[in-house]
Every structure is written in C-alpha cells, then in structure tokens.
Amino acid sequence: MTCDICERIKSKKGLVYLSEKVAVFIPEEAVTRGHIVVAPIGHYPILESVPEETIKEMFIIANKVGIAVFEGLGAQGTNFLIQNGTAAGQEYPHVMLNVIPRKENDGIDMLWTPKQMTEEEMSTIELQLKEQMKEGGEQKPAETRESEKKDGAKKENEKKEDYRLKSLIRIP
Amino acid sequence: MEQLTKEQKDQIRQQCIFCQIIDGKVAAKKVYEDEKVVALLDINPANPGHILLLPKDHIAIMPQMDDSLIGYMAVIAKRLSQSILRALHAQGTTIFIANGTAAGQRAPHFMMHIIPRMEDDNIGLKPEMKKQSEEEIAQVHAALFPAIKKVLGKAIEPATKPKKELEIRKETKNAGRTVQTPGAQVTNPKLDAITDLLTKK
C-alpha cells in the first residue's frame, strides 16, 4: 500500500526543504495561505512510532519554518498542530507537524470550550499520568530497544502496540 | 534580544502566573517535572487530561527558544502523548502550540498543549482545509523560498514560477489587537510585546 505523504515527498511537489530525516512541503489542502507541513521522511503512522531524534529535528525545523513564515508571508502568529490519530482529525497514516500562519481576525477557530472538572477528577488524572510518566511514558528500557533491532521481535512489539494503531486502521 | 538585569527577570517571573507555578508559589497539578521543563494539568481543559508542557525559564514564544530546548520539549511531549494514550485510554492526541495573540496565545509563557482525544468528542481543533491550486502553491513557494533559505541555510527552489506574486497584506501595527474567537476575548497588554516580537523584522 502506498502512502500519499511518502509519494508527495518523493514527487518533490511543493517541496521547500529536505534533510536526511525531515521533509518540508506546501500541502495540497491548507488551513491558511502559507500553511506548511513538516513530516518525517520515513513512513511513521503515529507520533509514538517516530524515533526521538526525528521528533527533535521536526520541531527544530518547524520552529525555523515558523520564523520564515513571519518574514516571508507577513504572518502575525503561528499555530503548530499535530493530529495524532483519527480521533484527533488525522487524515493520512503519516505523522505531520502543521505550521499554520495566522493573522488577527482571520476567522480561523482553533480554540476550545473549557470543560469543568472537579478537584477530585483532576487529582485522579494527575496520579494516573504521573505514574505512567514514571513507567511507560519514559524512554523504553535498553533491553527492549535491543530486541527491537531484531526483526522478529520488532513484529511482536508492533502487535503489542496495535491498540494505539487501531484507530488508524479505519483510514481508507 | 537585549539582556535583562536580574531584577528585571525577577519582576517578569513575579508577574507570570506560570513562572509562579514553576517556582512553587502557586499550586498546580504537576504530572511531570525535571530540571528544564514542567508538565501540568490545564485547569480549563479541552478534554480531561489536557496537559500543558512549559519550559522552566520564562520564554514568551517558540522563536526565542534554542534548538536543544525545543528538541527536548518535543521528546517530552511525545512521552506525555504516549502516557495519555496508555493511562487515560484516549484514542488520539492533539499537540497544539499558539505563538502570538493572532494565533490564540493567552499567556506570555510559551507552552505546548497535549490534549487527549476521543472519536466524536467535538472539541474543535480540526480546522477546515481548503484545496490549493498549483498556482497558489507556487505563489507560497516563491514567497517563502528566500526566507526558508535564510533560516535553514538551504531551500529547494520552486519548479515553476507563479504567474502572479503572492499578495502579502500588511496590516497597520495596531489593527485589532483583540482576538475574536468564540469563547475568548483577549486584550492583554503584556501580549502586545509578543506580537511585536513576532512581527518585527
């Protein structure tokens, strides 16, 4: 199965910058004029599958692209957006960091209505996330990473992560 | 940026609610903290588990950050996203940044939002996309090429020259400092400085 984003990068259409790990291009569909996409060159469907070195480079380059957008397009602000999973509006099975130039009163709605939560609900979530950051949220232990290098082990590992990918499978 | 004295820096920290949280002077629900960054629960969440990831230093906007800190925050943001998926069984996450009041920035301290998502949660953050013509793409490419080359050291030239140059509307400096977005009316003089920083050449 081919990936539209991988194909798009290969086609060099609207491609403005290319490094070893990251491609920067002008997408066919944009939120505002000057909308730029920073994507990993490797085919990574979700944020969690992107290697840390690539994530770093994506954000560092996106920040510089954001600066270029101010200078080149006269933007007054920028939004950075990653839609991770179809629930978040992801439309292609390839991670994309969107840099969206903004102007005062441009009519783009990127804000949300805040939800009310009780102190108790907040505390429960705080604990759950804190615990997870100590374990799963942290970098994988060295032995897991070693096993990832072996192909067989890698496949098994992917299976374990299927729950994170399941929402993506619905992408046609 | 010009160097600030220690007194000026202290004053800025005292006036910034997020610096006050980072310094432990105002309570907040912190889910992660290390020597460089802190992650806390947003008290006005888009969805339960909405995390704000902030640098401990008072930095107003992303362009003021050095590469190593941006890279570091990106990695922590990824781990926080992972934790949201695992611990809260979210079906997705939105990573969101606003630089400048025009983009919806409300506090003068840089932050990354990491928001848990569920199918049909209807919280927004799915901006409408409009199809661009080849000519429009070529126009943006031609307008951005020199600026990208300047900041990244190299850039790819557009394959086709646009028939017309991109029109860049230059707003007058003080035009509409109020962000008119449903649910939020922001007039914060402290943020004017951010807008100036973002728009200055």
**pLDDT of the residue at B189:** 52
Nearest Cβ partner of B93 from A34, A63, A88? A88
pLDDT tens for each residue of B55-95:
999 999 999 999 999 999 999 999 999 999 999 999 999 99
Distance to chain B for A58, nearest Cα, Å: 8
CB-nearest to A16 from B70, B102, B145 is: B145
- Residue A157 pLDDT exceeds 80: no
Chain A closest-CA separation from residue B201 CA (Å): 7
Whether A69 and B155 lie within 8 Å, measured CB to CB: no
Q: Report pLDDT digits (tens) over A65-89.
A: 999 998 889 899 999 999 999 999 9
Task: Give the model's pLDDT for residue B195.
Answer: 56
Q: Is B111 strand, coil or helix?
A: coil
- What pLDDT is attached to residue A155? 45
Q: What is the pLDDT of residues B45-57, one digit of tens each?
A: 999 999 999 999 9
> Measured between CB atoms, does A106 come within 8 Å of chain B?
yes
- Search chain B and give the residue with CA nearest A134: B32
Q: What is d(CA B53, CA B73) in angstroms, rounded to the nearest whole number?
A: 8
- Closest by CA to A75, choosing from B83, B168, B138, is B168
Of B41, B67, B127, the CB nearest to A125: B41
Q: How confident is the model at residue A137 (pLDDT cuts 50, 70, 90)?
A: low
Q: Please report the pLDDT score of residue A2 as a whole number.
A: 86
Q: Is A81 close to B44, i.e. CB distance below 8 A?
A: no
- Give B60's contacts (C-beta < 8 A, 6+ positions apart): B108, B109, B110, B193, B194, B197
| Range of lowest pLDDT (A3-7, B38-42, B178-182, B196-200) | B178-182
- Using a CB-CB distance cutoff of 8 angstroms, which residues of chain B are in contact with residue A141? none
Q: Which of residues 31-50 of A touch B (CB under 8 A)?
A: 31, 33-34, 36, 47-48, 50
B197 — pLDDT class (breaks 50, 70, 90): low
**Residue in A closest to B133 by C-alpha:** A28
Tell whether pTM > 0.80. Answer: yes
Cβ–Cβ below 8 Å for B88 and A47: no
Q: How many CB atoms lie within 10 A of CB A134?
A: 11
Q: Is the pLDDT of residue A142 over 90?
A: no
Average pLDDT over residues A37-41: 97
Q: What is the pLDDT of residue A106?
A: 92
B1-25 pLDDT, tens digit per residue, is 557 888 988 889 999 999 999 999 9
Using the beta-carbon criterion (under 8 Å), do B132 and A29 form an inter-chain contact? yes
Using DSSP, state whether B163 is helix, strand or coil.
Answer: coil
In A5-34, the residues whose Cβ lies within 8 Å of chain B are: 12-18, 24, 26-31, 33-34
Q: Among all residues of chain A, which has the CA nearest to that of B126?
A: A89
Q: Residue B201: is its pLDDT beyond 80?
A: no
Does the structure show a pLDDT above 80 at A172? no
The domains of chain A, with CATH numbers, are 4-102 (3.30.428.10), 119-168 (no CATH)
Contact A137 B97 (CB under 8 A): no
**Whether the predicted pLDDT of B135 surpasses 50:** yes
Q: Residue B93 CB: number of other CB atoms within 10 A?
A: 32
Question: Å from B165 to nearest chain A CA?
Answer: 11
- Size of the A and B interface in Cβ pairs below 8 Å: 323
pLDDT band at B174 (very low <50, low <70, confident <90, very high): very low
Which residue in chain A is spatially nearest to B174 when comparing CA positions?
A: A104
**Residue B185 confidence (pLDDT):** 36
Candidates A29, A90, A138; nearest CB to B131: A29
In whole numbers, what is the pLDDT of chain B averaged over residues?
85
Report yes or no: A165 at the B interface, CB cutoff 8 Å.
no
Interface of B with A in 157-186 (CB under 8 A): 159, 166, 168-171, 175-177, 179-184
